[in-house]
Structure 1
Amino acid sequence: MKTRAWAWWAASWRATRAARKLLLPRNPGKGRWNRTRRPYGPGCRPRARVSKKKVAQGATLVYLDEVGFSLKGVLRRTWAQRGKTPVVRLPASWQKLSTIGAITSNGQFLQRTQTGAVKTGDVLAFLNHLLKHVTGELVVLDNAAIHRAKAVSAFVEAQDRLSLVYLPPYSPEFNPIEKVWAYVKRNVLGNFCARTTKELRTRLRAGWQRIRYIQLPQRLMAATSI
């Protein structure tokens, strides 16, 4: 009985610690977690000025990104009986689902999940989705190369309510939605063995509901400043 109680306490403590790590950015210089609120680096000051001006005028910031989920699964540490190594069996398949999603400065979370890779047409469809579900002027912050396509630029220029600001390449720490993807991979898909993309989609659907239920986007934005 004591062993079970200890296991439950340890699991709860680890979950709390993981949530703190997710919300607090890491200072690589000091090697510890801190509460510095800097979503932009020194090279992003022009972008920060543009965003601050737009927000002061009532615009909504939208952090946009894409992520892929495959049937290969996400392995995590787990509890097991001493001397017996847990085995996770996965299908030999390269099938995957792709999600394009966004969180807004007021805590909204929007996503679209599909089979295969996200293409230019899917990006345009999602931007239309944003314009439909988020009111007012939107400033989309993004760093995906595919979103620099001519069709995307032309679409943005044709929209009075929409402007696009590119974040520096290879800088996921500037985009808080990356922490949403990390949460899903660790806490929703960890050690989950989907046999088909249908099973994976069902699991992700539950994950998106959990994201909204625990108000993760709102908590992330509360820990982020422009």
Structure 2
Amino acid sequence: MTPPTSRTWSKRGHTPLIRVRGRSRGRVSVAALCCYRPGARSRLIYRYILHDPHGGHTKSGRRSFSWTDYRDLLRVVHHQLGAPFVLVWDNLNTHRAAGLRDFVAEQDWITVFQLPSYAPDLNPVEGIWSALRRSRQANTAFTDPDHLLRALRQGLRQIQYRSGLIDGCLAATGLTLTTSRPEIQ
């Protein structure tokens, strides 16, 4: 758990060092969706996985979200929103997994558009991660995975209540809710 740094200082000519005790003893994976609807408050829905500190893997044997974890997240989003939705995804390999593609094809309440490769500037969730790193995680050396998880939940909860910040993440992409969305292959 290398601490992200935002600002620090030291004497002129001396490079500042951040000392962290021990090695990483755990891993946390987070997936989030920014939800927008014209005339409604923007929402952030997220899920996290705390990995086994000894092996770092989940039940599925992966060191990150599996396609079944994303499938379950999409079901939760559909339940919370209570309406069909359009999903705009980056090119993470798990997003393109055969099982997830089959699941999405079977559902009439999901429409998926893929972002072009190497286009994080078009993904509003990247703005959420940036805001989170600059606020709750900046200049913090986490003592254990639970400490990281507490800070992560507090930071994401604060962002959830700031719909203006979530709107700003969409505005930063240059995309709008009224733009016609051509399907990207």
Q: TM-score range by the shorter chain?
A: 0.7 to 0.9
Q: Structure 1 residues 120 and 77 mapped into 2: Cα distance closer, same or farther (>3 Å)? A: same
Q: Between Structure 1 and Structure 2, how many residues are aligned?
A: 156
Aligned equivalents of 1:126, 1:164: Cα separation in 2: 15
Which residue number in structure 2 is paired with residue 114 of structure 1? 49
Which residue number in structure 1 is paired with residue 101 of structure 2? 153
> Which of 154, 170, 184 pairs up with 1:206?
154
Query: CA deviation digits over 1:3-43, x for unaligned, max 9?
Result: xxxxxxxxxxxxxxxxxxxxxxxxxxxxxxxxxxxxxxxxx
1:221 and 2:170 correspond: yes
Aligned equivalents of 1:75, 1:220: Cα separation in 2: 21
| CA shift for structure 1 position 94 | 6.0
Aligned equivalents of 2:132, 2:81: Cα separation in 1: 23
Q: Which amino acid aligns with 2:47?
A: R
| CA shift for structure 1 position 118 | 1.0
User: Which structure has greater strand proportion?
Assistant: 1
> Which of 67, 86, 89 pairs up with 2:19?
89
Check the 8 A contact 1:96/1:115 in 2, yes or no. Answer: yes
Q: Which amino acid aligns with 2:45?
A: L
Q: Which amino acid aligns with 1:213?
A: Y
Q: How does 1:5-154 map to 2 (within 5 A)?
A: 71-78=1-8, 87-90=17-20, 91-93=22-24, 95-106=26-37, 107-116=42-51, 117-143=64-90, 144-154=92-102
Q: Could you say what secondary structure the match of 2:71 adopts?
A: helix
The alignment yields a C-alpha RMSD, in angstroms, of: 2.2
Aligned equivalents of 1:72, 1:114: Cα separation in 2: 18
Q: Could you say what secondary structure the match of 1:125 adopts?
A: helix
Q: Which amino acid aligns with 1:138?
A: F
Aligned equivalents of 1:147, 1:84: Cα separation in 2: 44
| CA shift for structure 1 position 213 | 3.0
Aligned equivalents of 1:164, 1:131: Cα separation in 2: 14
What is the TM-score with the length of structure 2 in the denominator?
0.75
Q: Which amino acid aligns with 1:89?
A: R
Query: CA deviation digits over 1:134-167, x for unaligned, max 9?
Result: 1222110001221111111111111111111111
Which residue number in structure 1 is paired with residue 115 of structure 2? 167
Which residue number in structure 2 is paired with residue 41 of structure 1? none
Which residue number in structure 2 is paired with residue 42 of structure 1? none
Q: Could you say what secondary structure the match of 2:7 adopts?
A: coil
Check the 8 A contact 1:98/1:118 in 2, yes or no. Answer: yes
Aligned equivalents of 1:168, 1:200: Cα separation in 2: 32
Aligned equivalents of 1:72, 1:197: Cα separation in 2: 12
What is the TM-score with the length of structure 1 in the denominator?
0.62
Query: CA deviation digits over 1:32-82, x for unaligned, max 9?
Result: xxxxxxxxxxxxxxxxxxxxxxxxxxxxxxxxxxxxxxx111022136799
Identity of aligned residues (%): 26
Unaligned 5+ runs, structure 1: 1-70
Aligned equivalents of 2:78, 2:150: Cα separation in 1: 26
